[in-house]
Amino acid sequence: MDTVILFLALASLGSVSSQPIADSQRLFSIAVSRVQHLHLLAQRLFSDFESSLQMEEQRQLNKIFLQDFCNSDYIISPIDKHETQRSSVLKLLSISYRLVESWEFPSRSLSGGSAPRNQISSKLSELKMGILLLIRANQDGAEMLADSSTLQLAPYGNYYQSVGDDESLRRMYELLACFKKDMHKVETYLTVAKCRLSPEANCTL
């Protein structure tokens, strides 16, 4: 259903549209609701995984590992409210796009949850498409050239395939935690961007 809406939006955007703001708002609403759903899904996956751990495993995971990192750490993104509000809508959209794209393939190795892995992957693909539409709807030629560096594709590599068996539990834990964090990021960025473009009074700066 949402795919149909996206296609219709794309078709309408392709032609000269007289109401770009209304279309943009509708696309934003769709994208925000989808990312909220993905964030809830990530939260549930993480809590299910945590509750399924044994006591011994939990103690091991609670040890502080300073070398923990996520696959998306190379993507520079705002980490507080002030920095986020200082960023442009397009920057927020492009960062969101990269974050979602970075999870498109690794999400297939996420374990647990009632939804199969390919469902998460397909949802991410659809969200990516929606964000791309929003980018195209909100950019002009000049901005596209300036931020071309931020549109580089993420290096996929063999990051998640070189994991040993004894570290698989650790990696899954980190994977789920990183997924949850990134979905929260995208949700926040899209909400701020939508609010920024909204003509409603209670959402302006």
Partner 1 sequence: MINCSSSRFLLLSGSSPPGRPVLLGCRSPEKETFTCWWDPGMDGGLPTTHRLYYQRERLEGTHECPDYHSAGRNTCFFDKNHTSIWVDYYLTVVACNALGNATSDVFKIDVMDIVKPDSPERVALEVENRAESPSLHVSWEHPRNVDTKSGWVTLEYQLRARRQQQQGSNNWKAYKAGAQTRFTLYSVHPGAVLMVQVRCRLDHGIWSEWSDTSYVKIPNNTAKEKPLWILVLALSASLFLAALCIVVTKRKSVTQYLLPPVPGPKIRGLDVTLLKSGRPEDLVSALIISQGFPSPVAWKDHMDDYLMVSDNVSGLLPDKGRRSLVMPPGFGFDSKHKNGVERKKSDSSSLMTQSVVNQDVLNPDTANCPYVDLGMHVEPTPESDYSKGKEMKSTNVLLLEKGNQSSYVDVPRPASLLEDYSQVEKVNGDKRMVILQKGAGQLDSSCREAQHSNRKTVPRNPHRDMDLIDGGYVDKVPTPMLGKPTVM
Residue numbers at the binding site for partner 1 (CB under 8 A): 36, 39-40, 43, 64, 66, 68, 77, 79-82, 84-85, 181, 184-185, 187-188, 191-196, 202-205
Task: Select 37 or 117, whichever has its Cβ closest to partner 1.
Answer: 37
Residues in the chain: 205
Minimum gap (Å) between residue 66 Cβ and partner 1? 8
Count CB-CB contacts under 10 A for residue 50: 14
Q: How far apart are CA 134 and CA 27, in angstroms?
A: 7
Minimum gap (Å) between residue 192 Cβ and partner 1? 5
Minimum gap (Å) between residue 169 Cβ and partner 1? 18
Task: Select 10 or 195, whichever has its Cβ closest to partner 1.
Answer: 195
Task: Select 1 or 64, whichever has its Cβ closest to partner 1.
Answer: 64
Task: Select 161 or 202, whichever has its Cβ closest to partner 1.
Answer: 202
Minimum gap (Å) between residue 134 Cβ and partner 1? 15
